[in-house]
Chains A and B, each alone.
Chain A
Amino acid sequence: MTQLDAWLDALFAATTLDESTIVFLKGTALAQWVVSTPWVWPTAEALHFLGLALLVGVIGLLDVRLLGFMKSVPVAALKALVPWAVAGFVINLVTGMLFFTAAPDQYMHNLSWWFKVLFLAIAGVNMLLFETTQRSRMRAMQPGDDTPPAFKVIGGVSLVSWLMVVYWGRMLPFLGDAF
């Protein structure tokens, strides 16, 4: 056993869901339906990747503006596309919860999944910070204005954390045992 394996085991032991919760989730009608219907998992995976593209495409474009590029594009104009990113996020939240309910142990015991959740949380807090602390500055911005340093930090954190969400999500089957 390598040092990494030992470290992972300790982490899993500390973070694992109660065994009875796992048994409960796997016993729900939803989990039974996902496991026993062959087309559900592949269809949910396809939707999960479409949601990814929609979210990353729209938020990535907004992040590039926050970083200070495309100065002639008003930030508020880009925000008109954000409902599409929210739609992508909702698709991925629903399909992700479907995967988790059907096979909780393969995520619960998977370091990749915890990293994915961590970066989702960072992306979420980062977005909330933007909406709560930078709203008036965003509204006051004129086309051509450079973005203040706070916008650049938030845009950079967003871009990196969504990339990390994709990275750790795709690594689920390789660093752990998820399919």
Chain B
Amino acid sequence: MMELLAALEVSAFATWVREASTIWAYPTILTLHTVGLGVLVGANAAFDLRVLGFGRQIPLAPIEWLFPAMWVGFWLNAITGAMLFSADPIEKGTTALFMVKLSIVMVGVVLIPLLRRAVYSRGCAALAVTPLAKTFAAVSLVVWVAATVTGRWMAYW
């Protein structure tokens, strides 16, 4: 495993991400990671808040597109995240905080389709917020807050 991380660290791509003296390498990748965070966590938070009872007048059917939006944010961050990891794999691959963040993200990702199904599976006519949907929404909110905090803290610890 360590050999693999070491090989990744010295690869041409990782070296470019880490060392290229252009804003199009590390700075732009990191900025895209922040934009993806805004889309994923932002869309998720807006939907969770609606399910939890804020903005009750917002009909549910026309905001289902927030789910594909969350996936766009997620894949943008999976790709940019892998690129950022490649720049510093030995350090990140052995940091507990990074493992904690990844685990939290995985829980959040599993919750995306669960929340969607809990709200939309019974067809447009019967759209209603069930206690199960509320539970998924509340847990989602907490999980993405935790993912954001642990991700941001990777810069410091």
Question: Which of A's residues lie within 8 Å of B, judged by CB?
Answer: 41-42, 45-46, 49-50, 52-58, 60-61, 70-74, 76-78, 80-81, 84, 163, 166-167, 170-171, 173-175
Separation of A71 and B57 alpha carbons in the complex (Å): 14
Using CB atoms, name the residue of chain B closest to A77: B57
The reply to whether A53 and B62 contact each other, CB–CB distance below 8 Å, is no
Main secondary structure of the interface of A (DSSP, over half): helix
Can you report 16 A-B residue pairs in the complex whose CB atoms are below 8 A from each other? A45-B155, A46-B149, A49-B151, A52-B38, A55-B42, A56-B42, A57-B41, A57-B42, A58-B45, A72-B59, A72-B61, A73-B62, A77-B57, A78-B58, A81-B58, A171-B27
The reply to whether B62 and A72 contact each other, CB–CB distance below 8 Å, is yes
List of A residues within 8 angstroms of B38 by Cβ: 52-53, 56-57, 60, 166
The reply to whether A50 and B58 contact each other, CB–CB distance below 8 Å, is no
The reply to whether B58 and A80 contact each other, CB–CB distance below 8 Å, is yes
Contact of A170 among B31, B41, B46, B55 (CB under 8 A): B31
The reply to whether B27 and A81 contact each other, CB–CB distance below 8 Å, is no
Separation of A81 and B58 alpha carbons in the complex (Å): 9
- Count class of interface residues, chain B: 35 or more
Within the complex, the shortest CB–CB distance from B41 to chain A, in Å, comes to 4
The reply to whether B34 and A57 contact each other, CB–CB distance below 8 Å, is no
Separation of A45 and B61 alpha carbons in the complex (Å): 35
The reply to whether A42 and B27 contact each other, CB–CB distance below 8 Å, is no
- A-contact bits for B142-157, CB 8 A (1 contact / 0 none): 0011001101110111
B37 touches A (CB below 8 Å): yes
Separation of A81 and B51 alpha carbons in the complex (Å): 12
List of B residues within 8 angstroms of A163 by Cβ: 35
The reply to whether B31 and A167 contact each other, CB–CB distance below 8 Å, is yes
Using CB atoms, name the residue of chain A closest to B33: A170
**Residue in A46, A53, A80 with the greatest tally of chain B CB atoms within 10 Å:** A53
List of B residues within 8 angstroms of A57 by Cβ: 38, 41-46
The 9 closest A-B pairs by CB, nearest first: A57-B42, A77-B57, A53-B41, A174-B27, A80-B55, A56-B38, A42-B156, A46-B149, A170-B31
Given A57-B38, A72-B62, check contact A80 B152 (CB 8 Å): no
- A-contact bits for B20-48, CB 8 A (1 contact / 0 none): 00010011001100110111011111100
